[in-house]
Amino acid sequence: MSGEARPATSDRDRSWTVLELLRWTTDYFKRAGIESARLDAELLLAHALESPRLRLYVDYEKPVLPDERDRFRQLVRSRAVDRVPVSILLGEREFWSLSFKVTRDVLTPRPDTETLVEAALSKLKGPGFGPADPGRRVRILDLGTGSGAIALALASELPDADLTASDLSQAALQIAAENADRLQQKERVRFLHGDLFEPVAGERFDLVVSNPPYVARRDEGKLPPELAHEPEMALFAGEDGLDVIRRLVAGAGAHLSPGGWLFVELSPEQAVTVEQQLTSAGFVDVERRFDLARRPRVVGGRWPGTGSG
Ligand SMILES: C[S@@+](CC[C@H](N)C(=O)[O-])C[C@H]1O[C@@H](n2cnc3c(N)ncnc32)[C@H](O)[C@@H]1O
């Protein structure tokens, strides 16, 4: 730890145990304004030691070797000084109990997005959902797939569905494809490149899900510094954050089977506006779903007709 990011020189030369390093780093992270200070310290130390996090509790009194400490020091500095998210430093993040590769080319999947997966599954596994032709497989589109988190979570739950995942970012699609490979779902998901529905022109789906960019440009100054390490294209959508959702809602009807559902993740204060947009676009049974903090996080609607829902 150098300057701010390391103990005083005399401390540097002595031997440090796992517990001492954790305590020092937690305190340092707290002073740097990092909320999940202890957890971040544990995750980064486990990464530097190349051991599972829970192993740290068994090894509290174990001295940390100089090489390991050097690796840890670099990680601590990046986290505290440059505010690089832990997921990027580790190169992975868990979502839906699956491990996803994460780089600066993709949005790190967030726990809030599990609300979207739950909403989709509740319809797909609910009574009466399915294509009008019972012999046809259910078709699902994940629009703006990023790391592939939503599509691959759904693939893991729905062995009989056909999944398509698209993104405007080629670099993100590359990571999504790697994740499909890692999770042994490569054959299950078709990855397509392009703007919104353009890569699926002429196709219809029983379910369209999307966690599109929805951060308002006008809020840029209020954002946590960690977001600077994620792709702009994954975050921002015009002055009010609704540029992409507006186009998505307007275009979705032409790509849904009769009775199919659209679910969109959004920022809680956008829920009422997007519900109105869905209704104006012709959707029925418009509903909202709440995240763990009980804020509206997902809104959805059914395309009229019978068949899918
Ligand atoms: C908020 S991220 C969501 C990533 C992932 N689905 C998740 O939930 O973790 C939004 C994604 O939409 C993509 N995107 C942005 N604008 C797009 C557009 N016009 N058409 C298709 N994808 C777009 C971004 O590249 C990014 O991967």
pLDDT tens-digit readout, 213-271 = 999 999 999 999 999 999 999 999 999 999 999 999 999 999 999 999 999 999 999 99
Which DSSP category does 90 fall into?
H
Report how many domains make up the chain: 2
pLDDT in tens, 43-85: 999 999 999 999 999 999 999 999 999 999 999 999 999 999 9
> Distance between CA 212 and CA 209 in Å, rounded?
9
The token pair at 245 is 């959702």
Among protein residues, the one with the nearest Cα to ligand 1's atom 13 is 144
Whether residue 74 is found in the same domain as residue 102: no
SS3 (DSSP) at 78: helix
The chain-wide mean pLDDT, for the chain, equals: 94
Distance 167 CA to ligand 1 centre (A): 6
Residue at 231 is within a domain: yes
Range of the domain at 49: 9-82
Whether residue 73 is found in the same domain as residue 109: no
* Res 281: pLDDT: 98
Ligand 1 closest atom vs CA 198: 20
State how far Cα 53 lies from the chain centre: 22
The string of DSSP letters for 19-59 reads: HHHHHHHHHHHHHTT-TTHHHHHHHHHHHHHTS-TTHHHHT
**Contact residues for 134 (Cβ-Cβ < 8 A; gap 6+):** none
What Rg value do the Cα atoms of the chain yield, rounded? 22
* Whether 115 contacts 298, CB under 8 Å: yes
- The pairing of strands 205-210 and 296-302 is unpaired
Whether residue 143 is found in the same domain as residue 286: yes
What is the CB neighbour count within 10 angstroms for residue 223? 12
Whether residue 74 is found in the same domain as residue 132: no
Phi-psi region of 83 (alpha: psi -120 to 50; beta: other; left: phi over 0): left
Distance 158 CA to ligand 1 centre (A): 22
* Res 4: pLDDT: 47
Residue at 91 is within a domain: no
Is the Cα dihedral 72, 38, 87, 81 positive or negative?
Answer: negative
Whether residue 261 is found in the same domain as residue 222: yes
Q: 186-220: buried (b, 16+ CB within 10 Å) or exposed (e) per residue? A: eebbebbeeebbebbeeebbbbbbbbbbbbbeeee
Distance 146 CA to ligand 1 centre (A): 5
Whether residue 59 is found in the same domain as residue 195: no
The token pair at 31 is 């002073």
Q: What are phi and psi of 205, to 5 degrees?
A: -125, 160
Whether residue 171 is found in the same domain as residue 70: no
Whether residue 37 is found in the same domain as residue 62: yes
Whether residue 127 is found in the same domain as residue 270: yes
Whether residue 54 is found in the same domain as residue 128: no
Whether residue 170 is found in the same domain as residue 276: yes
Distance 142 CA to ligand 1 centre (A): 9
Residue 156 sits in a domain of what CATH number?
3.40.50.150
> Is the pLDDT at 11 greater than 90, yes or no?
no
Q: Which of 82, 113, 138 is the last residue of a domain?
A: 82
pLDDT in tens, 156-205: 999 999 999 999 999 999 999 999 999 999 999 999 999 999 999 999 99
Residue at 307 is within a domain: no
* Res 126: pLDDT: 80
Mutating to test ligand 1, I would choose from 116, 145, 235 the residue with most ligand atoms within 8 A of its C-beta, which is 145
Which long-range contacts (C-beta less than 8 Å, at least 24 apart) are formed by 219-222? none
> Distance between CA 114 and CA 94 in Å, rounded?
11
Ligand 1 closest atom vs CA 145: 6
Distance 249 CA to ligand 1 centre (A): 15
